[in-house]
Amino acid sequence: MPPPDPNVPPWKKLRPLPVVFVLGLFFLVWWRGQTNEQAQNKRRVEPVQTQGKHTLLRGQTMGTTFTVKLSGVLPEPHSQALLGAVRQELGAVDKAMSTYKPDSELSRFNQLLTDGSLVLSEQTTEVLQLALTIGKDSGGAFDVTVGPLVRAWGFGAKSTNKGPDEATIAKLKALTGAAEQMQFDPKTRALRKKTAGVEVDFSAIAKGYGVDRVAERLIKEGVPGFMVEVGGEVRTFGKRADDKPWRIGIEQPNPAGGGIATVVTLGNLSLATSGDYRNYREVNGKRVSHTIDPRTGHPIAHKLASVSVLAKSCARADAWATALNVLGPTEGLALANKLDLAAYFLVRQPDGQFAGSQSAKWPER
């Protein structure tokens, strides 16, 4: 073999890769890309489907999913038009009430200093007034200013497994109390915060309100029967395609899925459930619920696993489910009976099972 030529640059001494190897490498990359794309397509849920004699509309909204079940198998143009209407209504709610979108109404209010105010839209005003009413009627168990405390306990965009100390809790509790920390003028719809750092979070009522907006839009569009569900909150209207009433199951509060605890016939009503069996975390070595009691600044610690509320308005059912969950099985049931609320409680037992109790207005199975 002749000695290497010192005048030839090193990069010219490299031999080109065989053509077969290059083509094989290209095919492998292309094939894996196709396989990944096919897998993703299999995981995607078609936005319009048929299920027996019903039409299903599905999608994502407000960090969760929505399902609309319509009575009858509708023609493609009609179902697509209704899907567009559903997305329009939910998009408007998300645009106004999201705490993750910096240009939403709530985000812009949360960024205000104490000397500023924000004129709310009609829909945000409607939700705020309902939240303030339920906050008052629940003795402060429902509070849309509790967001900073929720984050401090590790729930939110920046999660943590370390809980706040008592000094931090006291500081953040001073920012809660919607009626005391904000000033609202219903004539001008102007909302002003009295204390710097006060925030509003509609996460415990916005999904229910979104359900209401969709339901009212579908009624306006002339749909004779439907079921609307957003993140577990449900409202029905009319009857199913088989002329039977809509019946909704309330699941056992088991993270692994424990079947159905009871079934309720809705009619033209809404159903919302609040519980601690899905959204929780370990903080300082102890399991804590994502539901924070605004009155104490601490996560709820009673034996109530879930509570479901029936109401005409899904926003009302959504908010009351949270309020009764904060109050617990004894205080919550007493208030539900006092205010004539239809509520169903599932309480943990020492043997790991669940016992159901219901208010006087809850319908018999």
Summarize pLDDT for 275-326 with one digit per residue, the tens: 875 555 555 555 567 889 999 999 988 889 999 999 999 999 999 999 999 9
Answer whether 215's CB lies under 8 Å from 266's CB.
Answer: no
Neighbours of 261 (CB within 10 A): 18
Proportion of the chain in helix, strand, coil states, percent, rounded to 5 = 35, 25, 40
pLDDT, residue 353, reads: 86
List the domain boundaries for the chain: 48-109+116-358
Band (49; pLDDT cuts 50, 70, 90)? very high
Distance CA 67, CA 305 (A): 25
Q: Residue 335 pLDDT > 90, yes or no?
A: yes
Neighbours of 328 (CB within 10 A): 20
What's the chain's average pLDDT?
Answer: 86
Q: Residue 30 pLDDT > 80, yes or no?
A: no
Please report which helix (H) or strand (E) contains residue 135, including its range. helix 122-137
Q: What is the DSSP string of 198-210?
A: -----TTTHHHHH
Q: Residue 209 pLDDT > 80, yes or no?
A: yes
- pTM as predicted: 0.84
Burial class (CB in 10 A: 0-12, 13-18, 19+), 278: exposed
- Our measurement of the distance from residue 303's CA atom to the centroid of its chain's CA atoms, rounded to an integer in Å, reads 23
- The token duo for 181 is 């920390």
Q: Express as a percent the part of the chain with pLDDT over 70.
A: 81
- Greater confidence (102 vs 3) lies with 102
Distance CA 49, CA 44 (A): 12
Instruction: Domain 48-109+116-358: give its CATH architecture.
Output: Roll (3.10)
> Among the ranges 6-20, 233-247, 256-270, which has the highest mean pLDDT value?
233-247
